[in-house]
Structures are given as structure tokens and as C-alpha cells.
Amino acid sequence: MKTEVKRCGLVYDEGMQRHIGPDGHVEQPKRIREIWRQLVEAGLVDACSRLPSRKASKKELLYVHTARHVNKVLSPSALCARQYNGGCQKPAGPDQTNVMALDEDTFMCNETPDAARLAAGCVLSLCDEVMRPNSVLHCGMAVVRPPGHHASADKAAGFCLFNNVAIGARYLQKVHGLKKILIIDWDVHHGDGTADIFSGDSDVLLFSVHRYDANRTFYPGTGMLQDAGKGDVKGFTVNVPLGPGYGDLDVCHTIRHVLFPLADKFKPDFILVSAGFDAVHDDYLGGCHMTPQGFGWATRAIYSLAQQLCHGRLALVLEGGYNCTNIGRCVVESVGALVLDAAQEAPLANSLPPLPEL
């Protein structure tokens, strides 16, 4: 009997659920628990290769973050470090003695250091397997929290402590010897931390499609079209700001007509996706109208790009998304797209999949 070859990987660890915040906070353990439940129910966990989770080492975190930032997050004393990000405050309410707010959005508890290291380490585990010589696995998803793309080199922000995708990019360069990394960020919020980390780096192309309100009141208020990098490195940060309420066709058009030509010119060695699903309809923070099928289309399109340019090397990394039911559906569509397309014996045709039905 022929053994089924599983070319798509999944990595997840229940330990990340122990990162717990104030009562009612939208970035809650249920997010990844519900995603994993739906993946199991859809048969996708069995259809994928389940990869081992691990914690990122301090050395690996320092590829991106300052020693001060890493020490503050990893040290238990960070929970009462009055100087960190303007100071810590205990949220009011019952059963909150284990929680400290670093700012109005971002929190820690006693279990946060391990969860944050797991989130980054799961990304590295996926990268290692994709890059392993003779591996049949060349794409996959890391279902992780806390998210990462608002964290800069020296600051936690926007629910994010360590920048998981940025650490993955630097790890691929330093450990696996790759040079050019394409980061695609489709989270509804601009990944200002990732942009800041790579703004002066011509070996990392950051492409972000996100919501931007003219009055700059939508968090974080960054990511304007003219923000293209710093100093002599211009054009390696590409922002596509869309108005409130954007949907599938807006993102499809952007991928077709902006991302594909840029990626073809850049020719990356690996593609990382900051895969936030808070642009899906009925998300509690996003205010946009993408569908799970739209995210499935985007995944298929980007995977076809990875096949054409970098041997199919593609890793999706969970970022935001706060309607737990809907983000589960989005992840099912995205992972399902990877499973089906990666199973093809021959590379996909050099064409985009049909547009999603609206």
C-alpha cells in the first residue's frame, strides 16, 4: 500500500493557551483552541504533517529584539517592572492578580514568557522542516499566540510581545543561509513593528495590505502608501492601505496587480505570511468584509507564487482575528488550500486561481 505523502505542515502547542489576560480581552486563549478544533473536525490535522513545537531560545529572540526587551519579557520580574513601556498596571476585577497590563492593549501573566517563546519557536520549527534537506514538506502554518507583528525590536505593543515572523525571517537568513525573504502581511492592522524592524533592509521585502482610515484613528494609524522604507533603502516596504469595509475583491486585485509583479522582481528564497484574519466579516475589531473563501483564494495565489519563485517554501503564521468562529473558518480554508495544492504532483500552472465567489 502506498504511503500518503503529507507535504503541508502544522505546528501548534496547547501551552500557548496559558497566556491569559484581563477578563473580556479579545486576544484570548479560545482563539487558537477554536482554530485547532475546526482543523481537527475538518480532517486537516490528519491531512497535514504535525510538527513538533519548541521554545525559541534567547539567542534566537535576540536576532530581532534588544537584550533589554527580551529580558523584560522573559523575566518574572517583568510583571512588576515599573519602567517597562511606561509602567505596568494591574487590571481590576476578580482573578486578575496574575495579570499585568504593559499598556492599554498588551498584557502579561506568569505563564506569558513560556507562551511567547513557544509562539516564536513554533515558527522556527516549521521553517526548519521546510528547509530540511530532502524534506517533502515545503509549506505549512503555525497556529500561534500571542501574535507578533506590532512588536518592534525594543517594545511590546498591540497584544504582541515578540515579533514571530521577523524572528522567522532572521532565523532563515542566519541559520539556513537564505538571503531574500518576502513577508506578506494581510492582517487588517498594519504591522508597524515588522515595518520598523526591516525598514532599512533590502534583503527583506515587506508587503502589507491593511485598513487605513484617513483620520488615522484605526490602530495603529501607520502604513501609508508613501511609507516605503528609511534612508537609502526605499521600495522594500510596500504598503497598500485600503479603506474601511474592504472585501475579497479588493485584496484579490492587490495580490494580482501589485504583489505578483513585485515578488517576481524581488525573487525571494522564502515567503512568510503574517496571517491575521481580522479582516473577515463580523470580526470584533476589523470592520471589513472578507470571507473565509477570500482568504483561501489568497493562500492559493501566494502558494502558486512560492512554487514559481522559491520551490514552494511558504509559512503562514497566525496574527490577529477575534471572532473565534470566523477565524477558525478562515484558517480551515487557508490550510485546506495548502493541503490540496501541495498534493499536486506537478507544480501549479503559472496562473492565479479563479476569483472567489461572492
What is the sign, positive or negative, of the torsion defined by CA atoms of 318, 320, 324, 329?
negative
Catalytic: which of 19, 69, 149, 150? 150
The grid coordinates of residue 223 equal 502604513
Please give the backbone phi and psi of residue 245, each rounded to the nearest 5 degrees, phi first: 85, 15
Q: How far apart are CA 336 and CA 339, in angstroms?
A: 5
Q: Which amino acid is at 133?
A: P
In the residue annotation, 289 being an active-site residue is answered as no
Are the C-beta atoms of 27 and 119 separated by less than 8 Å?
A: no
Q: Determine if residue 173 is left, alpha or beta; phi over 0 gives left, psi from -120 to 50 gives alpha, anything else beta.
A: alpha
Q: How far apart are CA 196 and CA 22, in angstroms?
A: 28
Contact 31, 162 (CB under 8 A): no
**Alpha-carbon span 50 to 231, nearest angstrom:** 42
Q: Catalytic positions, please? A: 150
